[in-house]
Amino acid sequence: MAHLLLFDLMDTVLVDPFFPAIRSFLDDEGIRTWVSLRTPGVFEAFEKGEISEREYFRRFFTTEELPSHIPPIHRLKKRMFQSVRFRPGLQDLLSRLAEDPGIKLGIASNYSAWYHSVLEKRPELERYFDLFFFSCEMGVRKPDPAYFDAIEASLPEFLPNPQSVWFFDDRPANLGPARKRGWNAHLIGIKSNEEKDSAAIQEEFLNPLRQAGVVE
């Protein structure tokens, strides 16, 4: 039986470049100010593909009169994509899994059209992964059950055997809808990333797969 392994992207496969970027501009107090100036719902609309990047830039803040220390979104984006890196050990893990003929790999991510910038910086992703499910193209975000419905609708071959679908995500809220479908959903812990070596991070993924006999 073939197995489909679906991975969230940021903080599961890659280190989310947003946090290093925002911290390169602002301290904790500055970040709190930045958060207070955001327009509610605009980020989510951009991730669902409901608005363009231009509209996102225009509407992101509630005011055009930004404090001098607050970076505009286009500057933050530029800083973000100066460096996009894998979590420790993930490249070796994905390379190994991609070589297994009984495994198909996919990305299942809440992400905006900026995913094109991610793929430009990390072209290896298109070598490792067979399938890409980005919220900006699906019009819905995790954990909305419709997100998972859309994945199932595009992969009818896995519907008779939901236990053959594996889902790895760093957010607990995203696991419930997957588990309701019978998928094997596993939380990936990232908070102690700095304390973990690549082998320990790989084991988070490999342990449940070994226990189920998917990998040796």
Give the separation between CA 197 and CA 202, rounded to whole angstroms: 9
**pLDDT at 197 (0 to 100):** 85
Residues 50 and 116 in one domain: no
pTM for the predicted model, two decimal places: 0.94
pLDDT in tens, 176-195: 999 999 999 999 976 544 55
**pLDDT at 190 (0 to 100):** 64
Boundary (domain end) residue, out of 56, 80, 104? 80
The residue ranges of the chain whose pLDDT is under 50 are 192-193
Tokens of 192: 């102690």
**pLDDT at 216 (0 to 100):** 86
**pLDDT at 191 (0 to 100):** 55
Give the separation between CA 216 and CA 206, rounded to whole angstroms: 9
**pLDDT at 127 (0 to 100):** 97
Residues 168 and 113 in one domain: yes
Q: What are the φ and ψ backbone dihedral angles of 111, each rounded to 5 degrees?
A: -155, 150
**pLDDT at 159 (0 to 100):** 76
Residues 96 and 67 in one domain: no
Residues 173 and 201 in one domain: yes
Query: Which range marks the domain in which residue 191 is found?
Result: 3-16+84-211
Q: How many domains does the chain have?
A: 2
Q: Is there a contact between 36 and 75 (Cβ–Cβ < 8 Å)?
A: no
Distance of CA 51 to the CA centre of its chain: 20
pLDDT in tens, 146-166: 999 999 999 988 878 899 999
Give the separation between CA 96 and CA 104, rounded to whole angstroms: 12
Q: What angle do CA 173, 142, 13 make, to 5 degrees?
A: 85
Give the separation between CA 68 and CA 26, rounded to whole angstroms: 11
Residues 96 and 71 in one domain: no
Terminal Cα distance for the chain, rounded: 15
Q: Mean pLDDT, the chain, as a whole number?
A: 94
Residues 70 and 110 in one domain: no
